[in-house]
Amino acid sequence: MIKSKLEKILLKVQKPGKYVGGELNAVIKNKDEVDVRFAFCFPDTYEIGMSHLGMKILYSLFNSKPYIWCERVFAPWIDMEEQMVKNDIPLYALESMDPISEFDFIGFTLQYELSYTNVLNMLKLGNVPLKSSERTELKNIVVAGGPCACNPEPIADIVDIFFIGDGEEVDLEVIELFRECKKSGKSKEEFLYLASQIKGVYVPALYDVTYNEDGTIKSFTSKREGVPEKIEKRVMMDMDKSYYPDNFVVPNVEIVHDRAVEEIFRGCIRGCRFCQAGFLYRPVREKSVDCINEQCHALCRNTGYDEISLSSLSSSDYTQIVPLLEKLSEWSVDENVSLSLPSLRVDGFSEDILSKIKSVRKSGLTFAPEAGTQRLRDVINKNVKEDELLDTCLVAFDGGYSTVKLYFMIGLPTETLDDVKGIAELGQKVVNTFYKAENRPKGKGVRVTLSSSSFVPKPFTPFQWEPQDSIETIHTKQAHIRENLTTKKISYNYHDADTSFMEAVFARGDRKLNEVLIKACEKGMHFDGWSDCFSLKKWLEVFDECGIDPHFYANRRRSFDEILPWDHIDYSVTKEFLINECKKAYENETTPHCREKCSNCGAMKHKGGVCFEKRSCMV
């Protein structure tokens, strides 16, 4: 039915290939032979969603079970959405072309706050009631996971079940429970209660929130006996044994990251104080060289990809990086497969590594010092030293590089205009370094790009209590950088402060924001992560109509003893540790990374990973 309607509209939209499925390795099952149908929704375009590793892992994992059929759903781009609405085509899954309202589970991965409007809009396009309470039967169970699930409250009225932490086991346990409940004719309510008993599952409908007069939270309590007060995250401790696909769906149309991806470890040892991922995924757990090698080889053989990206939060921190690259080159060279290592750190940038990576092109170098002065880098615990950075640039310039990109954040806690000026000055120092390099490329000028985003305070970081700079202050700081640039060799660009503001609102929002999202959805808002669609004006109107002040969430300093909307979620990192880190930040004091010294963050309770590695005493 949907198929014949689609034929009429597909030639009217851009890149119709992304709306028809049929890719190599897409899983087709007989719907009558499975017990559970799962619509895995990525609340963004096909090109972005298909590039996402978490979705690939769970898609293959679910489909490895004969009783589950997991299908993919992406947000149709604006032109397609318009055609679908006009022609009465509900949002459908790519494998069966069935509408998502026919599925047992509708799962979302929450990668960024600004995709929340797409979550609601996708339900709307699928004719699925938005609120959990409006979906009364045991079907269309809306589940969500991913980093934003660490503060589930802004969409707690929409989602039935949140998965906290690594999804590989908990998702399957919940699906299995659903299968039993469906067989025995249990109600949705009973199912949700039973699900709440599984570690790593948060069922928001089972809790009550009350507020103080000033809008802060007064109490957060469970409604029913036996419902856990704290929801602890799930962690896959043995990464070698953890499920990893030997096959990806290979898209027919070009996507953002069109290559094989291998996760080499989870977590990050560094503890940069602004970085949420660095705290959510503790402790660091590595895969072994042999395991990575086998998985990479299988992936390339099964997909036909000739490029493999070794993925992690900070690739050069992988303890066996050189042996790994050596092992991989045993076959990758012969099979014409190139390797790439994203997120290399400045201090991990060695010639030894570089010589093994084919795909590091001589076109550009990127660094993320994040702040312009050493003082501020100490505040955020970003262990990048200026002289190291300049040394690396010198080596690179001598080796033929001539362009450098530097990434910064502005609006960081304790930041002054001098720190901001430091960004422009660092750019100048890189330019000067170029002219010191004796073997620099001749006849070519140096090009330095400074890029700044605005700091967004996130839950589960030491800065979770911090106010975000107002949009005006951010604009002043942006202007300050520009005014301090004296050469055309440096170009400066920045992310829009308006979107960072909205991101900050939803990152630390509470349940009151559900109303805002529902209203935004009614007004047809979607794709807020895209400048084509985002409009601060529209958002302010929505907040105004709901009588909610967005600045309360973005720009307010919280006290350490305030009940935070996400306090009932437990990512193993203790609040005492975070408070301590915050206080150290104010003193410009750094914290060593996990391999130098354990700082007792709380993640050790998982009994493995980096916490139990032997530390070679660093002097």
Partner 1 sequence: MKNVRVWFKKDDECRYISHLDLNRVMIRAIQKSRLPVWRTEGFNVHPYITFSLPLSLGFRGERESMDMRILDDKLKLDVIKVELNKCLPHGLEVFDVTEPKIKSGAINSAKFKMRLSTDDISVEELYSKFQEILSSDEILVDKKTKKGIKKIDIKEYFKDAKHYDTDHDIVVRVTLPAGSTTNINPTLLVNALQEKYAIEVYYDITRVDVFDTEGRPFE
Q: Which stretch binds partner 1 (CB under 8 A): 15-23, 182-190, 318-326, 493-501?
A: 15-23
Bridge partners of residue 570, in order along the sequence = 232
Q: In this structure, which long-range contacts are made by residues 442-446, counting pairs with CB atoms below 8 Å and at least 24 apart in sequence?
A: 444/402, 445/402, 445/489, 446/397, 446/402, 446/403, 446/404, 446/489
* Beta strand 231-232 pairing with 141-145: unpaired
Q: Does residue 303 bind partner 1 (CB under 8 A)? A: yes
Q: 56, 266, 282, 285: which one contacts ligand SF4 (CB under 6 A)?
A: 282
Tell me the CA distances in angstroms from 564 to 75, 161, 210, 216, one per residue in order: 31, 20, 12, 8
Which helix or strand (DSSP H or E) is residue 69 part of?
A: strand 68-74
Tell me the CA distances in angstroms from 351 to 170, 315, 346, 399, 610, one per residue in order: 42, 15, 12, 10, 26
Tell the smallest beta-carbon distance from residue 146 to partner 1 (Å): 28
- Decide which of ligand SF4, partner 1, none touches 611; Cβ closer than 5 to 8 Å per partner kind: ligand SF4
CB-wise, 337 or 578, nearer to partner 1? 337
Q: Does residue 336 bind partner 1 (CB under 8 A)? A: yes
CA distance 170 to 234: 7
Could you tell me which of 524, 469, 462 has the C-alpha nearest to residue 501? 469
- Decide which of partner 1, ligand SF4, none touches 605; Cβ closer than 5 to 8 Å per partner kind: none
CB-wise, 281 or 543, nearer to ligand SF4? 281
Tell the smallest beta-carbon distance from residue 280 to ligand SF4 (Å): 12
Tell the smallest beta-carbon distance from residue 565 to ligand SF4 (Å): 24
Tell the smallest beta-carbon distance from residue 333 to partner 1 (Å): 11
Q: Does residue 250 bind ligand SF4 (CB under 6 A)? A: no
Where do the DSSP E strands lie in 269-390? 285-286, 307-311, 338-340, 365-370
Q: Which stretch binds ligand SF4 (CB under 6 A): 5-13, 27-35, 111-119, 604-612?
A: 604-612
Q: Does residue 603 bind ligand SF4 (CB under 6 A)? A: yes
CA distance 297 to 590: 40
CA distance 138 to 203: 15
Q: Does residue 601 bind ligand SF4 (CB under 6 A)? A: yes
Q: Does residue 250 bind partner 1 (CB under 8 A)? A: yes
Q: Which stretch binds partner 1 (CB under 8 A): 297-305, 383-391, 496-504, 570-578?
A: 297-305
Tell the smallest beta-carbon distance from residue 164 to ligand SF4 (Å): 18
Instruction: Find the angle CA(410)-CA(413)-CA(415) to the nearest 5 degrees.
Output: 60
Residues 6+ apart with CB under 8 A from 322: 352, 353, 356
Q: Which stretch binds ligand SF4 (CB under 6 A): 228-236, 322-330, 512-520, 602-610?
A: 602-610
Tell the smallest beta-carbon distance from residue 597 to ligand SF4 (Å): 8
Please check whether residue 504 is in contact with residue 520, taking contact to mean a CB–CB distance below 8 angstroms.
no
- Decide which of partner 1, ligand SF4, none touches 20; Cβ closer than 5 to 8 Å per partner kind: partner 1
Q: At what angle do helices 513-522 and 116-125 cross, to 10 degrees?
A: 50
Q: 99, 107, 283, 565: which one contacts ligand SF4 (CB under 6 A)?
A: 283
Burial class (CB in 10 A: 0-12, 13-18, 19+), 74: buried
- Decide which of partner 1, ligand SF4, none touches 610; Cβ closer than 5 to 8 Å per partner kind: ligand SF4
Could you tell me which of 478, 397, 384, 475 has the C-alpha nearest to residue 432? 397
Burial class (CB in 10 A: 0-12, 13-18, 19+), 332: buried
- Please give the single-letter amino acid code of residue 497: A
Please check whether residue 61 is in contact with residue 245, taking contact to mean a CB–CB distance below 8 angstroms.
yes
Please compute Rg for the chain using Cα positions: 25
Token code pair at residue 71: 């299908």
Q: 92, 202, 305, 527: which one contacts partner 1 (CB under 8 A)?
A: 305
Direct distance between the N- and C-terminal alpha carbons of the chain, in angstroms, rounded to an integer: 69
- Decide which of partner 1, ligand SF4, none touches 615; Cβ closer than 5 to 8 Å per partner kind: none
Token code pair at residue 140: 């269309």
Q: Does residue 578 bind ligand SF4 (CB under 6 A)? A: no
Q: Does residue 239 bind ligand SF4 (CB under 6 A)? A: no
Tell the smallest beta-carbon distance from residue 601 to ligand SF4 (Å): 3
Q: Does residue 309 bind partner 1 (CB under 8 A)? A: no
- The one-character DSSP state at 82 is H
Tell the smallest beta-carbon distance from residue 259 to partner 1 (Å): 10
Letter string b/e over residues 336-357, b meaning 16 or more CB atoms within 10 A of that residue's CB = ebbbbbebbbbebbeeebeebb
Q: At what angle do helices 471-483 and 497-507 cross, to 10 degrees?
A: 140
Q: Rounded to the nearest 5°, which phi and psi values hold at 231?
A: -105, 115
CB-wise, 314 or 332, nearer to ligand SF4? 314
- Decide which of ligand SF4, partner 1, none touches 23; Cβ closer than 5 to 8 Å per partner kind: partner 1
- Decide which of partner 1, ligand SF4, none touches 282; Cβ closer than 5 to 8 Å per partner kind: ligand SF4
Q: Which stretch binds ligand SF4 (CB under 6 A): 432-440, 478-486, 562-570, 594-602?
A: 594-602
Question: Contacts with ligand SF4: how many residues (CB under 6 A)?
Answer: 11
Q: Does residue 291 bind ligand SF4 (CB under 6 A)? A: no
Q: Which stretch binds ligand SF4 (CB under 6 A): 75-83, 86-94, 258-266, 603-611?
A: 603-611
- Decide which of partner 1, ligand SF4, none touches 598; Cβ closer than 5 to 8 Å per partner kind: ligand SF4
- Decide which of ligand SF4, partner 1, none touches 253; Cβ closer than 5 to 8 Å per partner kind: partner 1
Binding mask 18-37 for partner 1 (x = CB under 8 A): -xxxxxx-------------
Q: Does residue 277 bind ligand SF4 (CB under 6 A)? A: no
CB-wise, 17 or 592, nearer to ligand SF4? 592
Summarize as ranges the residues that interact with ligand SF4 (CB under 6 A).
282-283, 594, 598-601, 603-604, 610-611
Summarize as ranges the residues that interact with partner 1 (CB under 8 A).
7-8, 10-11, 15-17, 19-24, 250, 252-254, 258, 301-306, 335-336, 361
